[in-house]
Amino acid sequence: MPRILLVSRAPGDLAALAGALAQTPGLALRWALDPEQALAETRDWRPDLAVIDRDPDPEQAGPWGLVRALLGVDAFLNTAVVSDRDPDRFHAASEGLGVMTQLPSSPGPAEAAWLLYHLQELTRALAWPAEKASGQA
């Protein structure tokens, strides 16, 4: 069962995305309203994906400090970041952080479908060597 953590100081900004994700059978969804809660949820709940709204921490410039902190808790955590930044600038800023994708400022059902498909593919790819070794491939 996939677990997705939504990180936003303004949950309404991710409401359409959350609503679309919530329609997925077996998917577990949680919210974190600040970086401390996001770190605690990552440590205790171990989500498969964290969707980080733009500027989750008013003390930081952008989401990158939080992405780094989350990866410090779980290096295998997949992340997606909401950003209006130019895609080339976004790529340059997120390079080396393993961010799965940049999401538009009002993500909705299309982005939810994209995230779920790619999360499933990543999960399958990570499980493949173990399945092959045990004869389940």
Give dist(CA 127, CA 15) in Å, integer.
31
What is the tally of structural domains in the chain?
Answer: 1
Give dist(CA 83, CA 56) in Å, integer.
11
Would residue 46 be called left, alpha or beta, if left means φ above 0 and alpha means ψ between -120 and 50 degrees?
left
Q: What pTM did the predictor assign?
A: 0.89
Write the CATH number for 27: 3.40.50.2300
Give dist(CA 110, CA 129) in Å, integer.
30
Distance between start and end Cα atoms, the chain: 20
CB contact burial 65-97 (16+ within 10 A = b; e otherwise): ebbebbbeeeeebbbbbbbeeeeeebeebbeee
Q: Which residues of the chain have pLDDT under 70?
A: 56-58, 61, 128-137
Q: Which domain holds residue 100?
A: 3-133
